[in-house]
C-alpha cells in the first residue's frame, strides 16, 4: 500500500510533497531513550558496589536478568512506538488539497482535509534558538472551509512551504473559477 491509496487519491490529483516535523525535534527523545537504556547498567554497578554478594545468589540473578530484559525490551518498544507516531504525523500537499494526518498514539489517528482553493491566509513562524539555527517552525493555514485553522508544527523551511501552498492555492483557485 502507498500514500495514494491511504489518502484515496483522486484521478486528477498529484502529490506535491509530504511534510514531516524536522528530524532535529526527535533528537531529545533519542537522548531520553539512551538515558533510560543506561539505568539497569547503573543499578547493576550500584548493586555490585553496595551488596557484592546479592547478584551471586542463585535466585536473585536469573530474576534480575529477566527483569532487566523486560525493562530494556519495553524501553525499545516505547521508543519505536513514539518514532512511528512521530513519523506518521505528516502533512500531505497535493495540487487539490491539504491533508493533515495526525497520529496521536498507536491506536488513534485523525486526518483533516482542506481544499486548496479555500485557503485564505498562511502564516509561518520561526521562534526560538534551535528553530532559527535549523530553520524549522510552525505554519498556520486559515481557510474559508469547514475547518477554519490548520497548524502544522515544527516543519522544515516553513517560509518555503508557505510559498509553495500559496502558489498551489492560487493555481487551484484559477481552476475553480474557470469551471
Which positions lie near other proteins, rule CB under 8 A?
1-6, 18, 23, 58-59, 61-63, 65-66, 69-70, 72-74, 76-77, 79-81, 83-84, 87-88, 90, 101, 103, 106
Report the residue number, 11 or 58, with the smaller CB distance to other proteins: 58
3-class DSSP assignment, residue 95? coil
Q: Which residues are bridge partners to 130 per DSSP? A: none
- Report the nearest approach of other proteins to the CB of residue 65 (Å): 5
Report the residue number, 21 or 97, with the smaller CB distance to other proteins: 21
Report the residue number, 30 or 170, with the smaller CB distance to other proteins: 30
Report the residue number, 36 or 140, with the smaller CB distance to other proteins: 36
- Report the nearest approach of other proteins to the CB of residue 44 (Å): 11
Report the residue number, 3 or 147, with the smaller CB distance to other proteins: 3
d(CA 92, CA 70): 38
3-class DSSP assignment, residue 45? helix
Residues in the chain: 179
Cβ(141)–Cβ(122) below 8 Å: yes
- Report the nearest approach of other proteins to the CB of residue 112 (Å): 16
Report the residue number, 45 or 80, with the smaller CB distance to other proteins: 80
Q: Which helix (H) or strand (E) holds 111?
A: strand 108-115
d(CA 12, CA 116): 14
- Report the nearest approach of other proteins to the CB of residue 38 (Å): 13
d(CA 111, CA 140): 17
- Report the nearest approach of other proteins to the CB of residue 149 (Å): 24
- Report the nearest approach of other proteins to the CB of residue 74 (Å): 7
Question: What residues have CB less than 8 Å from 147, skipping those under 6 apart?
Answer: 112, 113, 114
Question: What residues have CB less than 8 Å from 43, skipping those under 6 apart?
Answer: none
Amino acid at each position: 500500500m502507498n500514500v495514494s491509496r491511504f489518502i484515496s487519491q483522486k484521478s486528477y490529483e498529484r502529490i506535491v510533497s509530504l511534510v514531516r516535523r524536522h528530524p532535529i525535534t526527535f533528537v531529545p527523545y533519542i537522548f531520553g531513550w539512551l538515558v533510560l537504556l543506561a539505568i539497569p547498567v547503573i543499578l547493576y554497578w550500584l548493586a555490585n558496589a553496595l551488596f557484592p554478594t546479592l547478584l551471586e545468589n542463585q535466585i536473585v540473578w536469573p530474576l534480575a536478568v529477566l527483569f532487566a530484559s523486560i525493562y530494556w525490551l519495553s524501553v525499545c518498544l516505547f521508543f519505536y512506538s513514539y518514532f512511528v507516531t512521530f513519523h506518521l504525523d505528516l502533512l500531505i500537499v497535493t495540487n487539490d488539497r491539504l491533508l493533515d494526518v495526525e497520529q496521536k498514539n498507536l491506536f488513534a489517528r485523525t486526518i483533516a482535509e482542506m481544499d486548496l482553493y479555500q485557503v485564505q491566509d498562511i502564516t509561518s513562524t520561526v521562534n526560538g534558538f534551535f528553530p532559527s539555527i535549523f530553520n524549522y517552525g510552525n505554519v498556520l493555514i486559515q481557510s474559508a472551509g469547514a475547518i477554519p485553522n490548520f497548524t502544522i508544527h515544527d516543519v522544515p523551511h516553513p517560509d518555503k512551504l508557505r510559498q509553495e501552498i500559496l502558489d498551489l492555492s492560487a493555481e487551484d483557485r484559477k481552476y475553480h473559477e474557470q469551471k
